[in-house]
Structure 1
């Protein structure tokens, strides 16, 4: 059984893997903010998915991942 991924977990993984753009507050309400607006490109999201897979044992389908443009969508995908 895998552990549920939370927003706190996701923001930690984003910070560790790709850092944080100046002026972006990952502690704010970012659930519906697109990753591009948060300063994360597709490579950063792929790195995040790889970290989620390693740390939580959750496989994220590449096509579904490409459609997950916000933290809320990525969390929903990871917690299915």
Structure 2
């Protein structure tokens, strides 16, 4: 996808992604307290990723994100 959503959608996405990821990490870290909690946390983090892809598309962020992931050492 080489198109972008409107400025409003991108701004709302910028504000929502960080709290969504933080909540997802919280669910992952405290998933042992409830059945399947880690799975729900992963689903929440994946939804934040999907929100970013919908708002910004994939072409502009792919190379930057891939190099960041490689620098962190996840690949």
TM (norm. structure 1) is 0.34
Higher helix fraction (1 or 2): 2
Determine which structure has more spread, i.e. the larger CA radius of gyration.
Answer: 2
